[in-house]
């Protein structure tokens, strides 16, 4: 991601919560409800990422660091999503995976490369694709089969491999999946003209229309895709149904991180081909000062069952409720985002040649789909701070 997204940055940033309408609250699902945060028990998760070396967009590297830094995740499997047609299968970001496992002193989880071609329909099982691209879906299915407990599915690229797994064995997924975090699209209705959707339109519609417990985390506000004026966007809460925020200056954030985490990011950003593990012990050089769009951090916080707390002036942390209690700051919790129930229907024709268009009815009594909304006035500031503080987490080896 995505030049498309950044080009609309100014519109996104112009949406102030203070001037947005209040959201209905009767059927709001409290954040943290699923999966249940159990303090001494890890949350099994299968993670699907279009993680490449060099990066297509380095947001996937930031996301990977956050995933591994949150010790409550038991990373059961990682799927290398190779749905980006311009990238080659041997471009996968294995170096970053090896690096973050080393930094956090965690094992490299089982991993596999996913399907190469778009699903031909919303119920395509992907079984007609070449055998070297079957391992990803097969790893998802075997991981679920072997799990004694429900597993979180979390995607930060296309929906392809999770959708194909669902199409192959919907019964298994319904039985074993605790939640599916779909970081894609433009909520809560209208044209779904967004990068991750475009990677596989049929797969996106498959997941959103499935009966799985979907946590829909749209990447773009609908305002970026409409002709709405700045004034209209600021006055309408419909534009806060997305996870997008920006790191204003990456160098300022990155220089505060452990040296090995800095080196992971620099290794990716400089397309280094040296040994990725040896590279971690370098003295880090400067990082780009460029602004960076980010998407999946708040959903990762939610999937981990953490809440957000403010300490001092503008310093935000994501802690488990128990950890916050131990630190004596549980009274400083701030509500940064929430999920609403939503009933979706597709109003566009079937087929990958059509841009998906959805109609969404918010706050219905019951639905398998919930949609993200940020509700905090300083959502951007809070998420940058949360991101930095998670990435600074000290682990046994860093
Ligand atoms: Ca991505």
Tell me: the pLDDT tens digits for 213-265? Answer: 999 999 987 655 556 666 666 666 778 899 999 999 999 999 999 999 999 99
CATH topology of domain 3-242+293-305+337-391: Inosine-uridine Nucleoside N-ribohydrolase; Chain A (3.90.245)
User: 345 C-alpha vs ligand 1 centroid, how far in Å?
Assistant: 25
String of DSSP letters for 168-186: H-HHHHHHHEEEEEE--SE
Statement: residue 19 has pLDDT above 50:
no
User: 294 C-alpha vs ligand 1 centroid, how far in Å?
Assistant: 10
Q: Phi and psi for 215 in degrees, rounded to 5?
A: -105, 100
Find, among 102, 213, 198, 113, the residue nearest to 154 by Cα: 213
User: 40 C-alpha vs ligand 1 centroid, how far in Å?
Assistant: 30
User: 376 C-alpha vs ligand 1 centroid, how far in Å?
Assistant: 24
User: Are 76 and 110 contacting, i.e. CB atoms less than 8 angstroms apart?
Assistant: yes
Find, among 349, 351, 85, 355, the residue nearest to 193 by Cα: 355
Find, among 246, 252, 247, 251, the residue nearest to 266 by Cα: 251
User: 359 C-alpha vs ligand 1 centroid, how far in Å?
Assistant: 25
User: 22 C-alpha vs ligand 1 centroid, how far in Å?
Assistant: 31
User: 59 C-alpha vs ligand 1 centroid, how far in Å?
Assistant: 7
User: 339 C-alpha vs ligand 1 centroid, how far in Å?
Assistant: 21
Find, among 164, 187, 196, 188, the residue nearest to 49 by Cα: 196
For the chain, the structural domain boundaries read 3-242+293-305+337-391
User: 172 C-alpha vs ligand 1 centroid, how far in Å?
Assistant: 26
Ion ligand 1 contact residues with beta carbon within 5 A: 50, 60, 156-157
User: 100 C-alpha vs ligand 1 centroid, how far in Å?
Assistant: 17
Statement: residue 277 has pLDDT above 70:
yes
Q: Which position has the higher pLDDT, 323 or 20? A: 323
Q: What percent of the chain has pLDDT over 90?
A: 79
């Amino acid at each position: 991601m995505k030049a498309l997204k950044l080009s609309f940055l100014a519109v996104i940033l112009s949406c102030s919560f203070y001037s947005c309408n209040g959201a209905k609250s009767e059927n709001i699902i409290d954040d943290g409800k699923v999966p249940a945060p159990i303090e001494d028990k890890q949350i099994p998760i299968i993670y699907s990422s279009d993680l490449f070396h060099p990066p297509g967009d380095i947001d996937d590297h930031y996301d990977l660091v956050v995933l591994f830094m949150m010790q409550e995740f038991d990373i059961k499997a990682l799927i290398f999503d190779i749905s980006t047609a311009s990238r080659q299968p041997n471009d996968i970001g294995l170096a970053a995976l090896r690096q973050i496992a080393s930094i956090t002193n965690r094992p490299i989880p089982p991993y596999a490369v996913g399907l190469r071609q778009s699903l031909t329909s919303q119920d395509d099982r992907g079984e007609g694709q070449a055998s070297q691209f079957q391992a990803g879906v097969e790893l998802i299915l075997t991981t679920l089969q072997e799990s004694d407990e429900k597993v979180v599915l979390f995607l930060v690229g296309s929906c392809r491999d999770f959708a194909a797994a669902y199409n192959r064995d919907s019964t298994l997924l319904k039985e074993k999946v605790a939640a599916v975090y779909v970081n894609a699209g433009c909520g809560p209705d209208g044209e779904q003209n967004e990068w991750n959707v475009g990677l596989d339109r049929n797969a996106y519609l498959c997941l959103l229309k499935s009966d799985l417990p979907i946590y829909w985390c749209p990447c773009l506000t609908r305002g970026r895709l409409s002709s709405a004026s700045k004034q209209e966007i600021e006055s309408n809460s419909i534009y806060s149904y997305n996870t997008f925020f920006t790191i204003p200056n990456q160098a300022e954030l990155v220089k505060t991180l452990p040296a090995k985490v800095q080196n992971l990011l620099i290794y990716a950003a400089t397309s280094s081909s040296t040994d990725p593990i040896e590279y971690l012990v370098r003295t880090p050089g400067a990082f780009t000062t460029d602004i960076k769009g980010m998407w999946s951090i708040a959903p990762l916080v939610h999937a981990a069952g953490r809440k957000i707390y403010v300490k001092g002036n503008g310093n935000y942390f994501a802690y488990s409720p128990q950890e916050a209690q131990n630190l004596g700051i549980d009274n400083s919790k701030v509500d940064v985002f929430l999920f609403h129930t939503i009933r979706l229907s597709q109003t566009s024709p079937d087929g990958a040649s059509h841009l998906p268009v959805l109609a969404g009815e918010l706050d219905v009594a019951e639905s398998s789909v919930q949609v993200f909304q940020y509700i905090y006035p300083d959502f951007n500031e809070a998420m940058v701070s949360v991101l930095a503080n998670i990435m600074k987490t000290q682990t046994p080896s860093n």
